[in-house]
């Protein structure tokens, strides 16, 4: 087996912070194991995290997620956000939310602090059957109300949609609906087997290809909003067509995720809360005694990081899509294949191979006509 022709340098560019474990929804595909518990990040711990971010050599973006961030209430969120407000190492904040609790008070805060907003929504009402509240009632109307509040307060937002068997035949309808909502970007996540979500049924690859085809056609006819996956493909094509020689160093984003107890997870936030003895439950330390600036050096001491590097090497040696993908996601490999050093996952098939095949064919066709 060939060695990698480049050195992998672990970096920290994004930090995921869990403001609280609880989520007010009970979506059937959720991977979070602790969403029923009510634990919240303390102001003291928030200060420790912010101080730790200040010690980083590079600037970072902060994503508030893992549990519904708005579930902790605006009063508490303002308190834990305060230590980060003047942190010069943070370029921006993003809240990833289900949108159901977005009222005018939240919008005022979000606008004043210039926080980016990502909404989780799977399409029209029928596409959102998995997204229900604690009583099993649809959350769709409340999310729409939250989006109306964002629009009324002129707050830009993007949407991330989960595609599963229930809505995979509705690419055009989903695209049209999302453009009408006023989102500036749409990201597509196919339902995955991760964490608590063990009921996943593999989606037929032909259906996936048809979905990308139809989404592309809808977007190409009326490219009102950015499709995250398409934009990334176009960037890769642009790079690859230039025949640029790879540099000897590639950076690997560690994406430290800090839960509300201060425990730190790396590589995949989906590892947060997973109980796996062989990897010490994926915990690499606690923010109280492990500065984030130490992570790029200390990560290689952890077995699951070592296994992920081995997985990247295996992908490099076996997959022709490596330059587009970079070696896949550690959490997908673990939860699907039970082995982080493994290679192909559903994520690779759906969101790398199928996507790129469809877009290359479409691009060639439209480039010739």
Partner 1 sequence: MDKIEVEIQKDKAALSSFLTKIKKNQDERAEDKVYAQVKSNQQQIDFSDADTNYANNFSDWTDWGDRH
Taking the complex as a whole, the smallest distance from the CB of residue 116 to partner 1 amounts, in Å, to 11
Nearer to partner 1, 224 or 349 (CB): 224
Neighbouring CB atoms inside 10 A of 298's CB total 16
Q: Which is nearer to partner 1, 109 or 236 (CB)?
A: 236
Shortest distance, position 275 Cβ to partner 1, whole Å? 20
* Helix, coil or strand: residue 285: strand
What's the min distance (Å) between Cβ of 364 and partner 1? 4
Which residue lies nearer to partner 1 by CB, 79 or 251? 251
- Tokens of residue 154, six digits: 């002129």
Tell me the DSSP string of 176-203: HHHHHHT-SEEEEEE---BTTB----PP
Closest approach of Cβ 233 to partner 1, in Å? Answer: 10
The residue (of 47 and 113) whose beta carbon lies closer to partner 1 is 113
Q: Which residues bind partner 1 (CB under 8 A)?
A: 8, 11, 13-14, 16, 61, 63, 65, 96, 156, 160, 179, 182, 184-185, 187, 189, 223-226, 228, 231-232, 234-247, 249-253, 255, 268-270, 320-329, 331, 356, 360, 363-368
Number of H helices, E strands in the chain: 13, 12
Distance in Å, CB of 197 to partner 1, minimum: 13
Q: Identify the sign of the CA torsion 29, 106, 39, 63.
A: positive
Q: Quick check: 190 and 347 in contact, CB under 8 A?
A: yes
Min separation Cβ 28 and partner 1, Å: 17
Residues 6+ apart with CB under 8 A from 97: 68, 69, 70, 117, 118, 119, 120, 146
Q: Which helix (H) or strand (E) holds 62?
A: strand 60-64
Chain Cα centroid distance, residue 86: 25
Beta carbon nearer to partner 1, 3 or 246 = 246
How far apart (Å, rounded) are the C-alpha atoms in residues 86 and 53?
12
Q: How far is the CB of 284 from partner 1 (least distance, A)?
A: 16
Pairing of strands 283-286, 7-11: unpaired
Listed in sequence order, the residues at least 6 apart from 188 whose beta carbon sits closer than 8 Å to its beta carbon are: 160, 161, 163, 215, 227, 228, 229, 351
Closer residue to partner 1 in complex, CB, 8/74 = 8
Question: With respect to partner 1, which residue has the nearer C-beta, 92 or 169?
Answer: 92
Angstrom distance (rounded) from CA 210 to CA 170:
10
CB of residue 54 vs partner 1: minimum separation in angstroms? 20
Dihedral of CA 280/283/285/286: which sign? negative
Copy the structure tokens of residue 319.
């997959």
Distance in Å, CB of 75 to partner 1, minimum: 26
**Nearer CB in complex with partner 1: 1/247:** 247
Q: Looking at beta carbons only, is 46 or 62 nearer to partner 1? A: 62
End-to-end alpha-carbon separation of the chain, Å?
42
Q: What are 283's strand-pairing partners?
A: 265
């Amino acid at each position: 087996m060939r060695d990698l022709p480049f050195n992998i340098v672990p970096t920290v560019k994004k930090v995921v912070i869990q403001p609280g474990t609880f989520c007010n929804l009970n979506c059937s595909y959720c991977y979070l194991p602790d969403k029923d518990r009510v634990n919240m990040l303390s102001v003291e711990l928030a200060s420790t995290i912010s101080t730790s971010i200040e010690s980083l050599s590079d600037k970072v973006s902060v994503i508030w997620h893992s549990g519904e961030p708005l579930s902790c209430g605006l009063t508490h969120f303002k308190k834990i956000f305060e230590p980060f407000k003047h942190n010069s190492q943070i370029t921006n904040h993003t809240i990833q939310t289900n949108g159901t609790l977005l009222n005018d008070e939240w919008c005022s805060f979000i606008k004043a602090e210039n926080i980016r907003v990502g909404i989780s929504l799977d399409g029209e009402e029928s596409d959102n059957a998995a997204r229900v509240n604690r009583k099993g009632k649809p959350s769709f109307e409340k999310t729409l109300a939250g989006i109306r509040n964002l629009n009324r307060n002129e707050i830009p937002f993007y949407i991330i949609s989960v595609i599963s068997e229930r809505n995979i035949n509705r690419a055009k309808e989903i695209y049209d609906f999302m453009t009408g909502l006023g989102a500036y970007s749409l990201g597509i996540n196919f339902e995955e087997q991760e964490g608590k979500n063990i009921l996943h049924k593999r989606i037929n690859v032909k259906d996936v290809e048809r979905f990308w085809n139809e989404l592309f056609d809808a977007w190409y006819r009326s490219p009102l909003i950015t499709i995250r996956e398409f934009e990334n493909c176009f960037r890769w094509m642009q790079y690859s067509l230039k025949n640029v020689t790879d540099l000897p160093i590639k950076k690997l984003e560690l994406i430290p995720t800090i839960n509300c107890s201060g425990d730190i997870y790396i590589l995949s936030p989906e590892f947060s809360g997973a109980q796996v003895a062989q990897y010490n439950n994926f915990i690499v330390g606690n923010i109280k005694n492990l500065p984030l600036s130490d992570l790029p050096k200390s990560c290689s001491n952890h077995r699951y990081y070592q296994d992920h590097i081995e997985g990247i090497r295996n992908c490099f040696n076996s997959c022709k899509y490596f330059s587009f993908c970079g070696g896949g996601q550690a959490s997908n490999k673990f939860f699907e294949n039970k082995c982080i050093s493994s290679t192909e996952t559903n994520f690779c098939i759906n969101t790398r191979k199928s996507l790129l095949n469809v877009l290359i064919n479409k691009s060639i066709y439209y480039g010739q006509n």
